[in-house]
A and B are shown apart, each in its own frame.
Chain A
Amino acid sequence: MKTNIPADFSFSQSNLHTYLRCRYKFYLRYIQGLLWPAQLTSDALVYEEDRNAGIRFHQLLHQYFIGFDQDLLVQMAQNDPDPRVLEWFSSFLLSPFAQLDGELNPEKTLNANIDGKLFTIKMDLLQFVDGLYHIYDWKTSRKIPSRKTLLESVQTKLYPLVLSEALSSNFPIHFHILELNQVDAPITFTFSAPEVAKSRDYFMLLTDEILALEEHEFFRTDKLQICKTCEYRSHCNRGIKAPGISDLELLDMEDYLETGNLNTDLV
């Protein structure tokens, strides 16, 4: 039986990543909409603290780029319940990323309609300067991912593509990643038109495949390692306990970074 992916379904970094890791998980989460609130890690509180600290740090940078007084924000960071927030913010202020010019759009969401399919990205910061676009992403990872891992991630390939389609941008497009736990080694990827065209081909093939699948073709992954960090493990009878936080990699978490639903921010 053919699956019913809603006509307005928007592909994102998060849902594509889910699909690549396990088709069945994609099916349960995005087609069936099955909520299954099992633990992702047995260190749920540490995970939550990390996540909340990351959210507050991202909010500080959002406020910084809106134009709030820097001293005021330092004071907020000093009073944050998690000392890492002040460390990250101080490191950021010392980095060249604190001195950007041009047109700056923090927390920017973009959609693109590519060959009749919708794609969504949410950027931490979008800069337009000297006729070129720069995408910025702030990361506060416990385990710092390698350059290769980042380059191959869905996010790194998808963001420049959606940006180029949505804003008919010039090339090259720069994608800067600042890992706050390693500020001295920011990573920049530069994408030329042929590289983005390659990503386009890749994502068109991938999404065509998803849209053409029959319900029974959303297989369960055969990599049991992936099931360990999946909330559906009891549903699939693939394990009982969640792993500790030190066993998680960036890739385990990437599909939990939802980029928004239909781009309408209803509250």
Chain B
Amino acid sequence: MDAALSTILSSDNKIFLHGEACSGKTGFGCQRLKYLLSEMKGEPEGILVLVSQRSLASPYQEALKQVKTYRKSEVSILTMSGLVRRMVNLFWPLIGHISGFYRPYEPPSFLTLETSQYYMGRIVDPMILKGYFSTVSLTRNRLLSQLVDNLNKAAIVGFPYTEIGKRLSEAWVGQESQKRVYEDAQEAVNAFRAFCLQNNLLDYSLQVELFKDLLWTNPIFRQYLNRQYVHLIYDNAEEDPPYVHDIIADWWKDFKSALVIQDDMAGYHSFLGADPQSASRFKTLAEKSIHLQNNTQDAFQKREMAATIIDYRKPLQFKLEDIHSFIKQPDQRVRFYPELLELVARDITEKVHGGVSPNGIVVISPFVSDSTIFTLGHELAKNNINLRSLRPSTSLRDEPVIQTLILFAILAHPEWDLSLDTYRITSVLAHAIPEFDLVRAHLITKHMQSTQSGKLPHLADLPQQISDRLNEEQKDRYLTLTNWIEENKGVNFLDDFFSRLFGELLSQPGFGFHLNLESGSTTAKLITSYKKFRASFGYQIEIDQSELAKEFVKSVESGLLAATFVDDKSEDDVNAILITPVMSFLGLNQAVDYQYWLNIGSSGWYERLEQPLTHPIVLSRRWQVGEKWTAEHDQKLSRENLEKTLHGLFNRCRKEVFLANSDFSESGMEEKGLLTLHIQALFRRALKEMQDD
């Protein structure tokens, strides 16, 4: 390491450190953390390590693992939303009574993203029946998530939530009818906020507003915070929204030392409010600004290549063989997507068998579908290679263990009157009792269907021709299962229900979860999700517990509740190939040796999502209120996104990018988006230059 740099990072000062991805910035952050711990003498001095998302905490946790000092208890690794939530909870008595809540002296209930959407649904459903949002074609879940997102944007960007509709409307240039939709959206968020205030519910937007407007100005709070934290290390500041930068800038003078780290070509989460421009203010606040750049020939060439792909007019600084040595394409033309996945699996297998570590390989695509995971996983499994996926919003209902638990909940609550598919009961029955095969399970469900009772028949009620086909052990298991359901009918606290179901039945010897160690963590996920759901109802809202449980089950079934848990196990699985959406990979901040890009013709590599009820740029701080959002803005944004993505991916690739392209994409279309066009142009230009030479 550069000695001067090392000295700067090993002293009590305020530094802004920026540079491209994988230039070692986080490594310096970790070094700084160790330095601060080693220097701490006498009075304890708290260190706040602020990261923009949970997964980015791992390098700092790893660094802490290497330090054997009791001072570790002085370190808090937090995201700002974690800090906000924790502080609003602790300081609630000081702010509840001055913030418009109806019951300020009672404990508030914190909402998760999912429970916010659930409550938004309760507001919006009657509106939809009255004809609101009639011109928008969106699934209910997407409609709810965009409405909640609007409120969050207002809070994290810093404008009144009552101006959301006006801002969106003023920027709109299309049909007038869309403006009516923005008015509907405004009405929905107003009603949602009023509902939260009446019922002591704290969604994310309210937590942020309380923190900024009431806590931050409270002297007791500031004194408390200053006692807690004396040093700051703030990594990936560009991925945070501007309110976080406002807070840190205001807090700046109170820190004894500070290190803010920024990735120059990032801000990948701008659709969630990330604002690199706002983060760059720390450059002027800091005593020292340090720029890190990877100066190897290889890094230079990758930078040049990314820049030349984006800009057709930029003169080529490299030859065709240089491109081929970094960007690989299939040797033969591939027409269909499944064929392409086979080819990718073969290429990966060759690499792994040739000694490449599976965790040095990533497969990325703008969107990762279940069928891609299944097919690629299946192909790789033939060669004993594991595939693991990391997707931001997999739904709870997608997990077979959860399907089993939910089905039992429905069977034990006939009063909910929720319909059940016989095929599903068959497969769950076979899953719950390994002694059963699908044929035996089907015999029972077929009988169940014929009686139209909606419940599993008792063993004694089974026709002889069915019971004759079950051996004693199978009968015994089936009896235990049906008895358990009978005994637990009407247990409405579903956390309790699932816990019993897991412990007393499904994980017992002879049942499906007994030797399935993963089933424990998956059941725990569902229990936690229900606990949060139930907690969001607090103590104030009078609700029938049976109805509440039914609402939860319906929410899981509809896909509203997501399994948004950081799965430590899968992250640590070094023996599996990772498949993940491109944005998730960029957010991981990790370099790999080999990248396989799927669906390269898709516009998903750069286009913003179609969101008729919100807009990430119009609701950002850099947007000039009153300006119109036009097609030129969209084109410019797409180009900027593509540029950021290309630089980000190239910087995170040590050896080779494999452009896995087929004539027909996953959706069966012939797609030729900007990425394909720009890369083809690069190859053509390089070929022409070679021929000219």
Contacts and interface: CB of A to CB of B under 8 A. Distances in A.
B105 interface: yes
Interface of A: 6-8, 32-39, 44-45, 56, 59, 62-63, 66-68, 72-73, 75-76, 78-81, 109-113, 116, 118, 120, 165-166, 231, 233-235, 237, 240-242, 262-267
A44 B499 contact: yes
A90 to B, nearest CB: 16
Contact of A59 (B54, B90, B508, B539): B90
Nearest to A231: B503
B569 interface: yes
B281 interface: no
B520 A81 contact: no
A172 to B, nearest CB: 21
Interface stretch (B73-81, B383-391, B675-683): B73-81
Interface of B: 54, 57, 60-61, 64-66, 68-73, 75-79, 81-83, 85-86, 89-91, 93-94, 103, 105-107, 220, 224, 493, 495-496, 498-500, 502-504, 507-509, 514, 517, 520-521, 523-524, 527, 539, 568-569
Given A110-B73, A120-B73, A266-B61, A81 B539 contact: yes
Given A8-B65, A45-B496, A237 B509 contact: yes
Contacts of A264: 57, 60-61, 64, 72, 75-77
**6 closest Cβ contacts across the A-B interface?**
A38-B503, A267-B82, A8-B65, A111-B70, A79-B105, A81-B539
Contact of B68 (A6, A75, A81, A116): A116
B507 A67 contact: no
Nearest to B82: A267
B406 to A, nearest CB: 15
Contacts, number: 142
B504 A37 contact: no
B499 A111 contact: no
- Dominant secondary structure at the B interface: helix
15 contacts: A36-B520, A37-B527, A38-B507, A39-B503, A39-B504, A68-B94, A76-B107, A79-B103, A81-B539, A234-B514, A241-B504, A242-B503, A265-B76, A266-B79, A267-B79
Given A44-B496, A59-B90, A118-B68, A266 B502 contact: no
Nearest to A240: B504
A78 B105 CA distance: 8
A37 B523 contact: yes
Contacts of A235: 507, 514
A263 B49 CA distance: 13
A6 B75 contact: no
Contacts of B89: 59
A231 B498 CA distance: 13
Contact of B500 (A8, A39, A165): A39
A35 B69 CA distance: 29
Nearest to B86: A267
A101 B105 CA distance: 28
A234 B507 contact: yes
Contacts of B77: 264-266
A7 to B, nearest CB: 7
